[in-house]
Structure 1
């Protein structure tokens, strides 16, 4: 069931029972690498400065509490190339993207800033539950 209105925003007041069942005590919020099966801080990516890295971010269609996640990359910038395979015609540099319910986003990250960085969900409860991973840009 989609609890979003035409704007794509979720309204908390119409989801009280669903939200009660989606606390950190009930749901384990994760970012998972589908190739390795690793999640959250067990993910340890390493790239080199000036690498261009294409990443697909998918909001799991089968998750018991579908919701949007504002995903933020620290230290780098990226372009949203497509949503569900449909090319994005408005390519602008970003450091965060709202990953809509049941959608996939392809992003191209420009690794220009050396150091250790994190990527995380900007919803405080999800972040406190560990919905983040670390990556390093060597340079």
Structure 2
């Protein structure tokens, strides 16, 4: 559902939150971070949001799903339709971080699987998993 482009006939923050699938406090947080604009509040009135704000919230959510931090999202928003080279550099950096996290998670999976195999079905102390964790403390 498209919203009107004029703030006077836009929607409230509550409706914006529902349509964007986020909560009101998240919208306010994004405003404080400068990711979305805070509309003027008419004298004695209620702030109204436009379809541009809803589109920006969708952009932010999608970028987060791809692993971008809010700081990186702010950079992407500043780039807008600008430099593909800078945008690509940010995306490549994000991909490198994701690949490292995958390697780290795989290493954790292998280690945990080994620890689980050392555990016998019995309930006799000491548990090899607990013992391993205690000895690995630094």
**Same fold? TM cut 0.5:** no
Give the TM-score normalised by structure 2. 0.20
Higher relative contact order (CA 8 A, sep 6+): 1
Which structure's residues are more often strand, by fraction?
A: 1
Give the TM-score normalised by structure 1. 0.20
Larger radius of gyration: 2
Which structure's residues are more often helix, by fraction?
A: 2
